[in-house]
Amino acid sequence: MATHHHAPGPRPRAAARRAALAASKPMTPVLRVARAGAKALAVALVLALGVVLGACTRSAPDATPEGAVRLFLERMEDAQDDAQKMRAVYTMLGPDARENLAERAQRTGRAQGRRVEPHEVLAEGRFALHFRPKRMTSKATGPGAAVVDVEGSTASERAEVRCVKEGAAWRIEPDLPEPPPIVKRGDEPAPTGKDGRPTNR
């Protein structure tokens, strides 16, 4: 009966030599591309994270008195004949100015027999500058209060704008006159003739 002999397996030394030879071979192009792609992706993620963090730490335009005045003037100029934009301009005013305009709107509404919103009585001529601002500097006048000195191209082009801080934002406090007193019908002066004597209505 014939006996079959199996060939002996690879010797341990030969297997170790083959493993060392495989480890010493240069990296294949596929592995190089994979590692290069992973490195590029990591760099892109780091750059994107830096952009996001930079955007988060960037100050708001109204975080300073000068920025608030500049933003207010830009929006005021852009808000003509646009009720929605004018409403946004109204929110940039300080509490005293908002209260003043709210009272004016209420009295105007009574006279016209309709509801008038405070932003509807905003007048461009009362708030807009008559020159192009070239330089703005602010000076603190108290806790949460400042005055912005606005300068134009000439020495005569100059204006001061009061600002107050609400939360993290600065608001504009223009010098508005007090609303006129409400004149009741019984308080109206009687009409007079040419001689200054009262006449019948």
What pLDDT sits at residue 58?
Answer: 76
Alpha-carbon Rg of the chain, whole angstroms? 38
Domains of the chain: 61-172 (3.10.450)
Sheet-wide strand order for 145-151: 135-142, 145-151, 158-166, 169-172
What pLDDT sits at residue 122?
Answer: 81
Q: Long-range CB contacts (< 8 A, 24+ apart) of 81-88?
A: 83/119, 83/120, 86/119, 86/120, 86/122, 87/117, 87/119
pLDDT digits (tens, 9 = 90+) for 170-187: 999 998 888 776 655 555
